[in-house]
Amino acid sequence: MTDAGHHGKGAAGSDARGGAPLLGLRAIMDGRGVEAVVLTSDQAIGCYGAGLPGALPRPGALVVTARASLPVSGSDRATLWSGVAGIVGRGRAVGYQGDCLTEQDRAAMQAALAPRHAIDIGPDILRQIGQS
């Protein structure tokens, strides 16, 4: 994974802002065998990216890895997914929120990340943040 820098707009993340929810998300990641999660719902970004300055511009996402949580935004879908790829890299096992991605976003994710596995962990996330 390439946690060192990314394309798009965003600042390096700190685990201090995610606290217990972020530890819970990492437990989900371990249990589902994913190396990174791309969060795209306002609820999940708010829960796991607590302390981010204001709402993320749209399109926007929060990328969580074993070591960092990083906000990414772009002027359009291609820029956003390029920024996500700058963090995650290509060919990784990636978790995502299936109910929050359009078909165009799924295609852009596949093109940018070429994931080894792409796993919808949206239901797990919703259970954890109490939205189910």
Q: Which amino acid is at 20?
A: A
The Cα–Cα gap between 2 and 67 comes to: 11
The answer to whether 121 and 130 have CB atoms below 8 angstroms apart is no
Domain spans in the chain, listed from the N-terminal domain onward: 15-129
Beta bridge partners of 125: none
The Cα–Cα gap between 114 and 107 comes to: 10
* Per-residue pLDDT at 19: 80
15-129 folds as: Creatine Amidinohydrolase; Chain A, domain 1 (3.40.350)
Stronger pLDDT, 4 or 50, i.e. the higher one: 50
The predicted model scores a pTM of 0.82
Q: Give the tokens for residue 11.
A: 């600042």
Q: What is the pLDDT of residues 16-44, one digit of tens each?
A: 455 888 999 999 999 999 999 999 988 88
Rounded to an integer, the average pLDDT of 46-51 is 80
